[in-house]
Structure 1
């Protein structure tokens, strides 16, 4: 078998159709069919069940797919080993971002690769930390940037490049709370609070600072994995946003009494047993630039 055959197999499994796969691979359907048939004959078992015009991976095919993806990834990394990316390099980057990193990094990553590595395919996947971690383990993603306090520690995951950013309560300019020199929890709790899913550590800090009513299960009335939606709601209504300060610098930071004093800890997550993809140093550099403590939210008037 060859790497070319494995690439054909991976694309066919992804497309679920000889027609779509042959279009992506720029080859004829008979040629693709011969390539898959030769691979099946060499392996001695069927990779796909043919159901009319549809195809589905067999149980054996699912096992071969996981191993094929790992082999092709390692071969691609070996090709780039020992040198930095150049503008002529091509490939595919699949990066998972949870809500906070997604707000700060999505456009940065897409813009940088468009300008400097235009031949690369860049896939950004936004979801919660648990879902992204499973996709990383399933080899559907190459790396994650997530709040590592929401990530269950595991020996198969490598976490590096940790950045800490302050979490705060924020509201729109002109909000009734924005005029106060100090905001107590009872005053805050008079308005709906919105947030992305919070870690157990953040929940503990909230309860320690403000009491049982500050537990996210009670306090947070509007929840979403997509922080941009929550920022928009906060701009348009009297909702209060609990998020990293850098995610919405145009909002007003509320002077809580006592202060919240919590931080998100964003980290780069990869599979510990895999060699480093050639694009990872680029992602690291973008993280260092974008995840420095961003511009402060506007302070509340005194």
Structure 2
């Protein structure tokens, strides 16, 4: 039994004429007759009786017609939903955002969906990379945007749309360190509270290589949380120093430390390797490309 045969049944029931239905379906009359006969053979019951020149549904044909209409309707609805999802006009997308991507993407992503894709259901989760990866593997999330350097190598994960963003030490305008004369060293920095999101092992290693063991995040960071916007707000109104991607806080002043930090975060979209991507994910990729740059 095929949807084509069910459409033939519906057409013939409406017209009552093999000739008219064949013309409407762009078929020959023998081809339509074979289709209806094959359907009757599969169902084991006649669907039509001949009454004069008309083909009239049998009692079983009436029941078959009712079900055929529902099946064809459901199939058309499913195809329509598929088209809408493919075009980014419907469906659900559940995105996990790390701290940096959350600061750069969350509001623009929500705004894009509200303005241009109101039929798409968007759910955003925030948290530590390890927790987001667990939720991705448990299929509670469809994709993540996180620092790829914080990921352990794994065959079940696919990382794409990689972008690199420069890290920096940032303070408010008017901070004592922003007016520092001469060479600014990390030891001087440690006289002030240091704020940061959880940093990858690679960034921690870079800090230690540049500035010594005391620069390891577990030693020097005194204010730590997952939300960069909260840390930025603290730094704007205090003498704290922020370690973050430069683009997360354009209004803050970058400190010219010596030696220079020269560290980057490498952000990427993470999905399960053997899972089909949600159709709305290209919208996220587009925003990553447009917004996550220095």
TM-score, normalized by length of structure 2? 0.70
Secondary structure, aligned partner of 1:243: strand
Q: Which residue of 2 aligns with 1:8?
A: none
8 Å CA contact 2:166–2:263 kept in 1: the answer is yes
Q: Which residue of 1 aligns with 2:288?
A: 287
Q: Which residue of 2 aligns with 1:85?
A: 87
8 Å CA contact 2:81–2:90 kept in 1: the answer is no
Counterpart CA distance in 1 for 2:200 and 2:112 is 30
Residues 117-137 of structure 1: per-residue CA shift (max 9 Å, x gap): 111111111111000000111
Counterpart CA distance in 2 for 1:77 and 1:287 is 29
Q: Which residue of 1 aligns with 2:18?
A: none
Q: Which runs of 5+ in 1 are unaligned?
A: 1-75, 294-302
How far is 1:185 from its partner?
Answer: 1.1
Residues 159-202 of structure 1: per-residue CA shift (max 9 Å, x gap): 00000000000000010000125421111111110100011111
Q: Quick check: 1:186 aligned with 2:157? A: no
8 Å CA contact 1:81–1:278 kept in 2: the answer is no
Secondary structure, aligned partner of 2:235: helix
Q: Which has the larger radius of gyration?
A: 2
Counterpart CA distance in 2 for 1:153 and 1:79 is 36
Counterpart CA distance in 1 for 2:275 and 2:132 is 17
Residues 230-272 of structure 1: per-residue CA shift (max 9 Å, x gap): 1111111100000000111100000001100000000000010
Aligned positions of 1:72-221 closer than 5 A: 80=82, 84-85=86-87, 89-181=89-181, 182-221=183-222
Secondary structure, aligned partner of 2:278: coil
8 Å CA contact 2:194–2:223 kept in 1: the answer is yes
Q: Which runs of 5+ in 2 are unaligned?
A: 1-77
Report the CA distance shift for 1:276/1:238 in structure 2 as closer, same or farther (over 3 A).
same
Secondary structure, aligned partner of 1:260: coil
Q: Which residue of 1 aligns with 2:28?
A: none
Counterpart CA distance in 1 for 2:245 and 2:131 is 21
Q: Which residue of 2 aligns with 1:234?
A: 235
The number of aligned residues is 216
Counterpart CA distance in 2 for 1:264 and 1:196 is 12
Q: Which residue of 2 aligns with 1:270?
A: 271
Q: Which runs of 4+ in 1 moved over 4 A?
A: 76-79, 81-84
8 Å CA contact 1:77–1:277 kept in 2: the answer is no
8 Å CA contact 1:156–1:271 kept in 2: the answer is yes
TM-score, normalized by length of structure 1? 0.69
Counterpart CA distance in 2 for 1:128 and 1:113 is 24
8 Å CA contact 1:101–1:145 kept in 2: the answer is yes
8 Å CA contact 1:97–1:124 kept in 2: the answer is yes
Secondary structure, aligned partner of 2:222: strand
Counterpart CA distance in 1 for 2:111 and 2:230 is 22
